[in-house]
Amino acid sequence: MKCPFCENLESKVVDSRPTDEGQAIRRRRECINCGKRFTTYEKVEEIPIIIVKRDGNRQTYNRNKLLNGILKSCEKRPVSMDTIENIVDDIEKNLYNSLQKEITSIEIGEMVMNKLKNIDEVAYVRFASVYRQFKDVNSFMEELKKILDEGRTN
């Protein structure tokens, strides 16, 4: 690490401690050449995930947009905030673990629907109605029939 005072490349670590709830490490260093101390921070490099929208536009992944979409579908439903945050955490973990730099909004929507289907069917239908952009009542009814048929087979 380059000393900010004399620009020497040799330094020694005097103290290390976690910061930001374990997301980074704060290191106190001492320059071997001039003896002055300085602080550095080390954290995992996060590669931004790009979301490819239906119209082909690209935007960086935004946790809050995902969270708000799920919150709207779960409004006035018996789904706790912890459950909603766990859904977002699971989806986020899948996104980052996939090592893909780009993912379609369609894939994310399917992930959300798979999670909501097992938690609250009304929230699932609400999310699906916006996500799938039902053109008419018949397409909406087809989705409801799928849910009812799955309920009968389970």
DSSP string, 4-43: TTT--S-EEEEEEEEEGGGTEEEEEEEETTT--EEEEEEE
What SS3 state is found at 131?
A: helix
pLDDT at 97: 87
Express each pLDDT in 43-53 by its tens digit.
887 778 999 99
User: Does 34 have pLDDT greater than 90?
Assistant: yes
Domain boundaries, the chain: 11-43, 50-153
| Range from 9-18, 88-97, 108-117, 133-142 carrying the lowest mean pLDDT | 133-142
Express each pLDDT in 48-69 by its tens digit.
899 999 899 999 999 999 999 9
Eight-state DSSP code of residue 79: -
Express each pLDDT in 56-107 by its tens digit.
999 999 999 999 999 999 999 999 999 999 999 999 999 988 888 999 999 9
pTM, two decimals, is 0.64
pLDDT at 22: 80
Strand partners, 19: 24
Answer whether 77's CB lies under 8 Å from 131's CB.
no
pLDDT at 153: 61
pLDDT at 46: 75
Average pLDDT, integer, range 1-8: 94
User: Does 143 have pLDDT greater than 80?
Assistant: no
User: Does 144 have pLDDT greater than 80?
Assistant: no
Structure tokens at 93: 């973990």
